[in-house]
A and B are shown apart, each in its own frame.
Chain A
Amino acid sequence: DGGITQSPKYLFRKEGQNVTLSCEQNLNHDAMYWYRQDPGQGLRLIYYSQIVNDFQKGDIAEGYSVSREKKESFPLTVTSAQKNPTAFYLCASSIRGTGELFFGEGSRLTVL
């Protein structure tokens, strides 16, 4: 089955540690995205990539970093510089130029 796989589903981190969230897709989509969701709020765009080896900052990129070395993979690193990292993180992909987003099941990060 084609889709997007995020891992881990749950992650706990101590303050000051970097963590990397995995996102893999086998839909052959060019574009991939990372969103953050906080309770009662809309999804906020962290980073996006329209093509391999290229990515752009979204609305809340500070404290995050990404890479896009392969079409299938778009990992997100939450660095110690992110002041409020506890959130639900969603990865998505789309065919370049169309609107529909396909989402993964999300990764819930908790900073202890």
Chain B
Amino acid sequence: SQKIEQNSEALNIQEGKTATLTCNYTNYSPAYLQWYRQDPGRGPVFLLLIRENEKEKRKERLKVTFDTTLKQSLFHITASQPADSATYLCALERGNNAGNMLTFGGGTRLMVKP
């Protein structure tokens, strides 16, 4: 089965800096990978999806890369703001005709200080 590693330690950065979060996986390479944001006590909210044939995807201040050789995805938030403070979850498509089945990482908590 797929194993996903996200840094369990919180990432603390200063406002205005770029935050970079890492998602590493083992075993098979998924057809696509997703990133979600989760605030305390709330459900996750979808941010971005990147497919295996895409190297990079952007949405406003967000950028995701997908390296199938390294089996890694990087999630960047540029010009970070305190409102970006949350836990960010990486999720991988399971493959094997599993439809929308996703395997989630444990998430990395981001703290942006003013």
Which chain A residues have a beta carbon within 8 Å of chain B's beta carbons? 4, 6, 31, 33, 35, 40-45, 48, 50, 90, 92, 94, 96-106, 108
Contacts and interface: CB of A to CB of B under 8 A. Distances in A.
Interface string B15-29: 000000000000000
29 contacts: A4-B43, A31-B99, A31-B100, A35-B104, A41-B106, A42-B89, A42-B104, A42-B106, A43-B44, A43-B89, A45-B101, A45-B102, A90-B44, A92-B43, A94-B100, A96-B100, A98-B100, A99-B32, A99-B100, A99-B102, A100-B34, A101-B36, A101-B46, A101-B100, A102-B46, A103-B43, A103-B44, A104-B43, A105-B43
B46 A97 contact: no
Contacts of B44: 43, 90, 101, 103
Interface of B: 4, 8, 32, 34, 36, 41-46, 49, 89, 91, 93, 99-107
A100 B33 CA distance: 10
> Do most interface residues of chain B lie in helix, strand or loop, or is the interface mixed?
strand
Contacts of A105: 42-43
Nearest to B47: A100
Given A31-B99, A90-B44, A42 B107 contact: yes
Nearest to B32: A99
A45 B94 CA distance: 12
B43 A40 contact: no
